[in-house]
Structure 1
Amino acid sequence: MSANIKNLENRLWEAADHMRANSPLRLNEFAEPVLGLIFLKFAGVKHSKSEKELAEKRKNKAKKLGGASVSRERPVSSADYHARGTLFIPEKARFSYLIELPEGTDMGRAVNDAMKGIEAENKELAGILPKTFQKLDNRSIITLLKNFNQIPDDIEGDAFGKIYEYFLGKFALADGTRGGEFFTPTSIVK
């Protein structure tokens, strides 16, 4: 793993752990929204990449047809994303949308609604995503969004997996054996 990813993991964990220490939430209550926001960032990046690829595919198709318009084609749908192995993320559920919401927005509700929107468009996730963001105050959610926005969009999917796994491990270790009883560190798996 590159030193940059390791450094990023450490910085993100320090920021999240500092917030947790200043929060009335117990560690196990804090883990779910933090991991949920990491998921949201990763899913948004994957969605954006697929969106660009689908647009490029349509553009190339138009060129092959001699510049003919593809406007009569059906619009891109969630099925097109699913066919690419990508989740469809509705506009108001995207990390990029949430981070731009104006001050004073009920961020807990906005992120909960984002998770519900993702579940509605991706039936395999129905009832799975966390919707406990109203337990956090607006300032905490905004700070987490800003911290996770530091994750570059151009890092490979495996790096997101490593960051997610890193956080799982840290939460399991911080919670003691109770929280980590179902978590096996990568070094053991190998």
Structure 2
Amino acid sequence: MTITQPELESRLKAAANALRGPVDPADFKTYVFPVLFWKWISDTWVYEHDEALDELGDDLDDEVEADYHRFEMPEGTSWSEVTGKVKNLGAEIAKAFQRIEKANPRSLAGVFGDASWGNKERLPESALLGLIDAFNELSLDPSTVSHDLLGAGYEYLLKDFADESGKKAGEFFTPRSVVNLLVGILQPEPGRGRV
């Protein structure tokens, strides 16, 4: 079942709201974006794994399965494996992020940022669990959320976080309508130098 943009935005807002109170709104993006990307990568990996199993069944081996995945998920780093842990969840998330980035250096280097996941003063366990619970209710695999919809959700969060932090969204967010206008005016072409 696919999800609509308003449904996705509502769920992403709920995830950010889980941090409200103990976490400074200016820091929401530090925690929500990495969890969003991790959940998407993990759900996509499971979706691709299921597709490989459907096509190949018992003939599926690790080498062949790797061709079905756009990202490598080292054992013990998936959403369900990490979020099922009870002790030191923040530290476990940080370890999973490091291992995923290390396994995908060309495509995911630095994508998870440098948040202090194990610092319970900055990110209390209750807030982290609330964030995880909000994402548990959301499937981000390709059959549910298209790339365009995920991008729109990301843009929604950028604007929302800018508003929450008291900054103008234009300081680090360019609305899609402005981007489309600039592309139309500049008409970029492959191999053409900068204007």
Considering the TM-score relative to the shorter chain, is it more than 0.5?
Answer: yes
Measured in 1, the distance between the counterparts of 2:76 and 2:85 equals 10
Letter in 2 for 1:155: T
Q: 1:114 aligns with which of 96, 111, 115?
A: 96
Measured in 2, the distance between the counterparts of 1:4 and 1:75 equals 34
CA contact (8 A) 1:112 1:130 kept: no
CA displacement 1:87-143 (0-9 Å, x = unmatched):
1122322112223223xx111101101100111110122334224222312221111
Alignment partner of 2:62: what SS?
Answer: coil
Unaligned runs of at least 5 residues, structure 1? 63-69
Specify which structure has the higher proportion of helix: 1
Tell me which residue corresponds to 1:95: 79
Instruction: Report which structure shows greater RCO (CA 8 Å, sep ≥6).
Output: 2
CA displacement 1:40-61 (0-9 Å, x = unmatched):
11111111121122223433xx
Q: 1:54 aligns with which of 52, 67, 71?
A: 52
CA displacement 1:3-44 (0-9 Å, x = unmatched):
843134124314523x33311x33232211111111111111
Name the CA shift for 1:122/1:77 in 2 (closer, same or farther; >3 Å).
farther
Aligned residues: 171
CA contact (8 A) 1:99 1:146 kept: no
Q: Alpha-carbon deviation of 1:78?
A: 8.3
Measured in 2, the distance between the counterparts of 1:181 and 1:31 equals 15
Tell me which residue corresponds to 1:65: none
Name the CA shift for 1:95/1:180 in 2 (closer, same or farther; >3 Å).
farther
Which aligned runs of 4 or more in structure 1 are off by greater than 4 angstroms? none
Tell me which residue corresponds to 1:143: 130
Q: Alpha-carbon deviation of 1:184?
A: 0.9
Q: Alpha-carbon deviation of 1:189?
A: 2.8
Tell me which residue corresponds to 1:67: none
Q: Alpha-carbon deviation of 1:165?
A: 2.1
Measured in 1, the distance between the counterparts of 2:29 and 2:146 equals 21
Tell me which residue corresponds to 1:66: none
- Percent identical residues: 27
RMSD over aligned CA atoms reads: 2.8
Q: Alpha-carbon deviation of 1:169?
A: 1.6
